Amino acid sequence: MTNHLTSCPLCQSAGFRPLGNSYTHASLCRCGNCSFVFAAAIPTPEELSTHYNSYRRNNTFSDITRKRYLELLAQLAPLRKHNKLLDVGCGDGYFLETAKAQGWEVYGTEFTTDAVDICRAKGITMFQGTIHDVPVDMEFDVITTFEVIEHINNGPQFAERAFSLLRPGGLIYFTTPNFNSLSRRRLKGNWRIIDYPEHLSYYTPKTITRLLTDKGFVKQKLTTTGMSMQSRSDYRKAIETGNLLPDEMLREKIEKRFYMRWLKNMVNSLLTLTGSGDTLKGFFVKPAR
């Protein structure tokens, strides 16, 4: 029997309601107090284990992704004090592999043994489990987490632990889907991100800022970028057939043409201004003492 949350994971209010028939398959609710959207159903350990042990490994690391990682690392470079970087939910370790080549002392967390073994083979110090499995006496300059916090329903505990693991003046960088995006508004429950038990929390600029500032972080920068109208069913079909995703094909075309890169930057600026891009990207700082 599936258990259900009795209060909002963000503000602990009991005043939440189902979001609507389009979202019933993912058990989505919206809090009447803070507007946070989340899955009320609580996955069992068996559900999570079955899901993540059958997770498709990402065996490709594109040149474009490497370029984006290097651009991000250039932004993070001024924060190097202890030279320690932790990536929570690091997958096969491509970001940490790139950071290690830039001289960072890198650490990661992952849920499955396969992912942990792959990362350790790359010389990455790994902790199997979640951020709560990182030793409490460690201190990092930077914590990164790419498309991870939507997978958990204990965001406040995550933010609190991240805050405690950062040195004063350290920074957390994250990416996560934006529930206020134009594509979600159009596709509704068929938005490819809405998928239980994989995704349990659905943030907006307002709710992600509340999550982190409530635990002591200060917002440095928050953007909402990118847009895809690919539905969940189309996305799954492309994955199952092994076809290159249309979004990835467009990404490659944009990278090759300077005028398309310029146009993309203009579109992303507008999406950030309106808070309607697909992906939230945030830089939040732990205040120096």
Residue 8 lies in a domain: no
More confident residue, 79 or 62: 79
pLDDT in tens, 9-58: 999 999 999 998 899 999 999 999 999 999 999 998 888 877 777 666 66
pLDDT of residue 56: 65
Beta carbons within 8 Å of 82's beta carbon, 6+ residues apart: 105, 139, 140, 141, 167
Residue 125 lies in a domain: yes
pLDDT at 289 over 90: no
pLDDT in tens, 224-237: 999 887 777 776 66
pLDDT in tens, 73-128: 999 999 999 999 999 999 999 999 999 999 999 999 998 899 999 999 999 999 99
Q: How many angstroms separate the CA atoms of 39 and 5, rounded? A: 8
pLDDT of residue 116: 96
pLDDT of residue 51: 76
H or E element, residue 4: strand 3-4
pLDDT of residue 212: 98
pLDDT at 244 over 70: no
Residue 71 lies in a domain: yes
- 34: DSSP letter: T
What total of structural domains would you count in the chain? 1
- In degrees, rounded to 5, the angle at the alpha carbon of residue 10 between the alpha carbons of residues 111 and 184 is 80
Residue 167 lies in a domain: yes
Enumerate the H helices of 126-204 as residue ranges: 155-165, 182-187
Could you tell me if 251 and 64 are in contact, meaning their C-beta atoms sit under 8 angstroms apart?
A: yes
Amino acid at 171: L
pLDDT of residue 239: 60
pLDDT of residue 254: 74
Residue 206 lies in a domain: yes
Residue 31 lies in a domain: no
Residue 17 lies in a domain: no
CATH of the domain at 109: 3.40.50.150
pLDDT of residue 199: 96
pLDDT of residue 252: 75
Q: How many angstroms separate the CA atoms of 134 and 261, rounded? A: 39
Buried b or exposed e, range 187-216, using 16+ CB within 10 angstroms = bebbbbbbbbbbbbbbbbbebbbbbbeebe
Q: Scan for tokens 């043409």, then name that residue.
A: 257
Q: Are strands 84-88 and 105-110 parallel, antiparallel or unpaired?
A: parallel
Q: Scan for tokens 């250039």, then name that residue.
A: 74
Buried b or exposed e, range 272-281, using 16+ CB within 10 angstroms = beebbbbbbb
pLDDT of residue 106: 98
pLDDT at 200 over 90: yes
pLDDT of residue 229: 76
Q: How high does pLDDT run on average in the chain? A: 91
Residue 168 lies in a domain: yes
- In degrees, rounded to 5, the angle at the alpha carbon of residue 25 between the alpha carbons of residues 24 and 31 is 45
Instruction: State the residue range of the domain holding 62.
Output: 46-285
